[in-house]
Amino acid sequence: MAMTPTALPTALIVEDEPEIAELVKFHLQRTGIDASITRSGRRALELARHSPPNLMVLDLMLPDLNGLEVCRRLKENDATKSIPVVMLTASGSEEDIIAGLEMGADDYVTKPFSPRVLMARLQNAMRKRGVSATQPADILTRLDGKLVIDRQRHVVTCLGAGISLTITEFEMLLTLAQRVGFVRTRKQIIAAVHGPLTMLSPRTIDVHMTAIRRKLGAVGAALETVRGVGYRFSEDGLE
């Protein structure tokens, strides 16, 4: 398999089950993405270093190198660490999902998946990476202006009214709202809010989350619990 230079966005599918790999490739190519397949984790790392794709779809159960290990090595190499990674996981592998997200994977799709869900996740991952590559703005506007976060002045406006959050609550909300649609584990939230030496526990994160939701009123529904994994800021499903 060769990755030739092209003007099209490129995706590397790392998956040893041919039917799944071909299915993913088919749907990516239909949307104008130049997708190629490898079944080897080691080969994926070589290819990514040689010619970084715009997206990696990474199965976690590979014959040679575990997908989590592939992700870890990608993220510790400067040449490959900014490649968006979406993991393919077996259902019920919450520990793997959490480990992958904490290693820097952007998202995951559980097998069996619907092509629509798969493509939405993949396109989201690529789009968000593009957005996050730009300079972060001081003022984050979400939900068509229903929520405005001014990170310079530490002020949150919800449905036009200023609301009062503690510093921890503010940082938690900001952490989630900065990456709309992406799940953050409790550990990631703690690290983002207070750094690795925090005394916050996963349990206190839940308590703070309850308080934030209450203060945000109807907008609080944007803070979704992802069962067994963590939290996500979602712009879907809010009127």
Site for Ca ion in 40-69 (CB under 5 A): 59, 61
Q: Give the separation between CA 69 and CA 56, rounded to whole angstroms.
A: 14
For Ca ion, the closer of residues 61 and 120 by Cβ is: 61
**Residue 221's closest CA among 206, 231, 208, 207?**
231
For Ca ion, the closer of residues 61 and 140 by Cβ is: 61
88 in Cβ contact with 59 (< 8 Å): yes
Mask for 105-144, x = binds Ca ion (CB under 5 A): ----------------------------------------
The one-letter code for the residue type at 148 is: V
For Ca ion, the closer of residues 16 and 224 by Cβ is: 16
Give how far Cα 16 sits from Cα of 93, 114, 215, Å: 18, 19, 47
Count of residues near Ca ion by CB under 5 A: 3
Torsion of CA 42, 48, 51, 56, to 10 degrees: 130
For Ca ion, the closer of residues 59 and 107 by Cβ is: 59
Report if residue 16 touches Ca ion, rule: CB under 5 A. Answer: yes
Residue 117: CB minimum distance to Ca ion, A: 19
Torsion of CA 169, 186, 102, 12, to 10 degrees: -80
Report if residue 34 touches Ca ion, rule: CB under 5 A. Answer: no
Mask for 207-236, x = binds Ca ion (CB under 5 A): ------------------------------
Binding site for Ca ion (CB under 5 A): 16, 59, 61
